[in-house]
Amino acid sequence: MSGKPVPEITPLNRVFFEGTAAGELRLCRCMKCGELFRYVHPLCPECWSDSFDYVVSSGKGKIESYTVMHMPPYEAWAADVPYVIALVRLEEGVRMMANVDMDANKVAIDMPVDVWFEQRDDVFIPQFRPAG
Amino acid sequence: MRPGRYTDQGPYDLFRSLLKDAITRWNISPKMVDGLLTSPSGQSQGQTDAYVHDKLISEFALKPRFAETMCLGGASFGVMVNRAMSAVREGRANAVLCIGSGKFLKPSEGSAEMLAKTIAEADFEVPYGPFIPGLYALIARRFMHERNITREDIARVAVSARKWALLNPDARMYGKGEITVEDVIASRPIADPFNYLDCSIPSDGGGVVLVTRADIGHQLSDQPAYVKGYGEYHACGTISGADVLNETGAVQSGAEAFAQANLTPADIDVAQLYDAFSATPLILLENLGFCAPGTSGDFFNSGACDPGGRFPVNTYGGLLSYGHTGDSSGMSVLVEGARQAMGQAGARQITGAENVLVHCYGGMMYDHTTLILGRQP
Ligand SMILES: [Zn+2]
């Protein structure tokens, strides 16, 4: 037990975390306008439609920005420093936050990365590592 | 109020000290103050008190026609000035007391975890171990990448803030000596690209401003500050949701303030730019139109923003060297802007400061307010 935060499953994110448990990175797709978006919006952010399904992302993306965390914000992260937090722009255009499991000295903007899923308790969270 | 470590004082003790301080400076009475704006205090201790105004109305024995507790982080105080002005213009109040106090626990004392959980998405950000410096770092890294700003460039902002703090006896770093770019980069790493000296100093403190009619302002002060322009913009309230990291809401709030004041960046003599971290004044200089994209680093390196420079920035030492007083951080930015316009900035007064720009933002650069203050209406 690392003590790292585990996402709480909510009506808004349930489909997403059912996907990660099945090895899928799901993106919301608006059935009215086609917009792709993260599971943080109760309505389509473009048109406020409430009818959407999902697409499965390729899981490939690029690092749009990053930081290397040297100071653990709390005890659960003490063993991980230095660790990378990145904003990853997926091929589908949606951007998300994750850690990148790599040598923190080598992280760079535009680096291609692939998704993987880390299990915390009974939840799988998307993470990335350098593509290859 | 001088920022410091007031471990034996709670937020309301600070409010009481602040009011006493205001009364000694201005000849104000409970009958005269008919408006009150304030903000929650003590968020870094996990206290979000939504009814501060009620407690202060009771304690201070006010009978305001206009009062509210506002919560927009560092932007609260820019917003307060605007809301107070509207009330004065509408005749709903003659004199609005705007008061903020803040306690800021050290990150190592538990505030890092609490603030991360307050400010970040619970299910899609918090699991990755961010905290405030790391979230700002994501904005800074992208800005540096797109605008060719170097690590040394952002460190230079902290060097400038320290120079100013040495002129301000109230600053936490007063008397602590100059620092160099090398010192900043050699200090303890926190969240790349930020080291310890790139981060503001957690402090306790607060401040007060009085927003009033021009005639009352002239009774209380030989040289009041006039509000000439105001702009506000609320960008996406999470880092993951903010699609463009380089262009913050300062682009919109700045343009609105300049248009309202009928001024341009060239008309501004001095600027106070909220600097939770060393990179943010560079981002704001570019977003507000003072520097073309990619030139803010060279601008700071030239010494333009230092004491004696042609465009002084954060003349009181900024949050970086004066101190970041938690919930009331934005108040210090505003107070220094007002003092420069009023000619009350002591050893650091900019001679002939006609127009002063004050930019405050809240959250991780989510809520933005730009104020232009001046010596003349
Ligand atoms: Zn839609």
- Tell me, yes or no, whether B180 and B70 share the same domain: no
Asked whether the predicted pLDDT for residue B46 surpasses 70, the reply is: no
- Tell me, yes or no, whether B20 and B145 share the same domain: no
Residue A1's pLDDT is: 47
Exposed, middle or buried, B231 (CB in 10 Å: 0-12/13-18/19+)? Answer: buried
Which residue is closest to A76 within chain B, CA to CA? B129
Percent of chain B past pLDDT 90, that is, above it, reads 87
Q: What is the SS3 string spanning B226-261?
A: EEEEEEEEECCCCCCCCCCCCCCCHHHHHHHHHHHH
The domain boundary, picked from B179, B194, B215, lies at B215
Residue B44's pLDDT is: 63
**Average pLDDT in chain B:** 95
- Tell me, yes or no, whether B140 and B16 share the same domain: no
- Tell me, yes or no, whether B48 and B67 share the same domain: yes
Give the SS3 label for residue B1. Answer: coil
CB contact under 8 A, A38 and B123: no
- Tell me, yes or no, whether B192 and B340 share the same domain: yes
Tokens of A122: 């009974």
For residue B2, tell me if it sits in a domain: no
Which tens digit of pLDDT belongs to each residue from B160-193? 999 999 999 999 999 999 999 999 999 999 999 9
**Chain A residues near any Cβ of chain B (below 8 Å):** 4-8, 10, 13, 38-40, 64-74, 76-77, 80, 82-83, 85-87, 95-99, 109, 120, 125
- Tell me, yes or no, whether B235 and B136 share the same domain: yes
Amino acid at B210: L
Tokens of B69: 């507790």
- Tell me, yes or no, whether B171 and B79 share the same domain: no
Amino acid at A58: S
Full domain range(s) for residue B17: 11-102+208-215
Separation of alpha carbons B52 and B45, rounded Å: 16
For residue B1, tell me if it sits in a domain: no
Separation of alpha carbons B239 and B247, rounded Å: 13
**Contact (CB, 8 A) for A74 and B112:** yes
- Tell me, yes or no, whether B44 and B114 share the same domain: no
Q: Residue B228: give its domain's CATH number.
A: 3.40.47.10
- Tell me, yes or no, whether B96 and B113 share the same domain: no
Structurally, chain B folds into a number of domains equal to 2
Asked whether the predicted pLDDT for residue A31 surpasses 70, the reply is: yes
Which tens digit of pLDDT belongs to each residue from B88-119? 999 999 999 999 999 887 777 777 888 888 88
Whether residue B241 lies within 8 A of chain A, CB to CB, comes out as: yes
Which tens digit of pLDDT belongs to each residue from B269-307? 999 999 999 999 999 999 999 999 999 999 999 999 999
Residue B109: which residues within 8 A CB-CB, separation 6 or more? none
The domain boundary, picked from B178, B193, B215, lies at B215
The domain boundary, picked from B185, B215, B245, lies at B215
> What residues does each domain of chain A span?
14-130
Tokens of B346: 């002591």
- Tell me, yes or no, whether B40 and B151 share the same domain: no
- Tell me, yes or no, whether B33 and B143 share the same domain: no
Separation of alpha carbons B99 and B89, rounded Å: 20
Q: Please, which residues have CB less than 5 A from ligand 1, an ion?
A: A 30, 32-33, 35, 44, 46-47, 49
For residue B4, tell me if it sits in a domain: no
Residue B335's pLDDT is: 97
For residue B163, tell me if it sits in a domain: yes
Asked whether the predicted pLDDT for residue B33 surpasses 80, the reply is: yes
Residue B275's pLDDT is: 98
Separation of alpha carbons B109 and A3, rounded Å: 18
Q: Is the ipTM of this complex over 0.90?
A: yes
- Tell me, yes or no, whether B47 and B152 share the same domain: no
